[in-house]
Structure 1
């Protein structure tokens, strides 16, 4: 029971982050500066490449998640995204060069999947990554949780 509650809490946090929760007050964030203290313009995040491809299967069913694939590394963690809006999927890997699965997330219309995964594996063939795992799924309409196999394949640009 405690594991299910912890998993539910993790999925709820992910749902809140994905839904773009915001308050009416702007966040107070210090602007980045260079070593001399001068303001530095933030870098624009890498844009997904429209020619890259990806597929997402949950419990053996194609999730029909389409859209551009984005692959980026930040602070040593590689993120591969399939699509830029719901439904979408992403995986976090230890690196793109020698990957190990850190997290798998799928946000569909009627459920959230992840980030808790077991049996995760990744294979790399050139710029194509195939991630398989078993992840916790929360069906939002019934608030029921179950464990399902997931497979995400993406080719990075």
Structure 2
């Protein structure tokens, strides 16, 4: 390999190293973005868990209301309270049941969405980390090759005669 070939190869390696450096920087930026998304997701999960606690408390309160009010709607109390009160109480209990069902469905949807998003983000983070590792390895290989050629270039420059000016 001649001196000019070595110098040309050094320039090529420097260009490749620069390109890999940009790719690594982009991959690092993407990984940082994903980790920010993951942090926001876990914040949303904590919020969802708090909402879950509220829903569970609400369901418990509604179940207690149903238990207490359900026992008061007997035919014996129908005679003393009147039909209008009985119908009103039963309508209220029915509304409680619908609300309870809606809250349960909301809770199930929140849990399903959280599982899907957690899995997606974990997979994306893993892929991004693999990309970062790949570019880091490529950069290390190019740096190694560049170091060898730079040493060879320095050696050849020291032993070859310099042209007269």
- TM tier, shorter chain? under 0.3
> 1 or 2 for the larger relative contact order (CA 8 Å, sep ≥6)?
2
Query: Normalised by the size of structure 1, how large is the TM-score?
Result: 0.23
Q: Which has the larger share of helix?
A: 2
Structure of larger gyration radius: 2
Query: Normalised by the size of structure 2, how large is the TM-score?
Result: 0.22
